[in-house]
Amino acid sequence: MTTQPAMPLDDIDRRLIEALQRDGRASYADLAELVSLSPAATRLRVQRLLDAGVVQVVGVTDPLALGYPVMAALGVRVERNVRAVADRIADIDGVIYVVFTSGSFDLLVEVLCEDSARLLAVIDDEIRSITDVRSVESFTYFGIHTHRFVWGTR
């Protein structure tokens, strides 16, 4: 993920983003009605937001429906070379999220697994075997309370 300069957003951009967060498959005609522009002008606005990386339209999956009932956040402490360790962890099957952080962990990792045995293998066999990994602490999810995709427009 690259950091880009913030693109100035006007009220129309914000309304388009909010609408796409609710339904990424909305037609340009439907979006145009919401923002009082023509479908062609709306398409250009949406394309500008996409090109600038302000918004991405993706399909969001449900891990449970796909057979991944075991989910966990892992706090990883690294001796040195945190970027190299992050790259290695990112290549592990089931890892969906790796972020650099401050505090008691150097990395936070989110992982989805088909069962507890796979989670143990990810932690013990794959992550702990990486040079410069000092420790891994696991926070297994019992359930997801809140998962938002609507934010950032106010």
Domain ranges, residue 130 = 70-140
CB 40, CB 74: distance < 8 Å: no
For residues 74 and 136, state if they share a domain. yes
pLDDT higher than threshold 90 for residue 2: no
Q: Please, what sign has the CA dihedral across residues 148, 149, 150, 152?
A: positive
What pLDDT, on a 0 to 100 scale, did the predictor assign at position 3? 57
The whole-number average pLDDT for the span 28-39 is: 97
Q: From residue 99, give the alpha-carbon distance in Å to each of 9, 91, 102, 110, 123.
A: 26, 14, 10, 9, 17
**Is the residue at 29 inside a domain?**
yes
**Is the residue at 4 inside a domain?**
no
**Is the residue at 5 inside a domain?**
no
For residues 80 and 131, state if they share a domain. yes
What pLDDT, on a 0 to 100 scale, did the predictor assign at position 54? 92
pLDDT digits (tens, 9 = 90+) for 46-92: 999 999 999 999 988 889 899 999 999 999 999 999 999 999 999 99
Using DSSP, state whether 76 is helix, strand or coil. strand
For residues 46 and 86, state if they share a domain. no
For residues 80 and 134, state if they share a domain. yes
Q: pTM for the full model?
A: 0.79
pLDDT band, very low/low/confident/very high, at 37 (cuts 50, 70, 90):
very high
For residues 132 and 85, state if they share a domain. yes
For residues 45 and 94, state if they share a domain. no
* Angstrom distance (rounded) from CA 147 to CA 141: 13
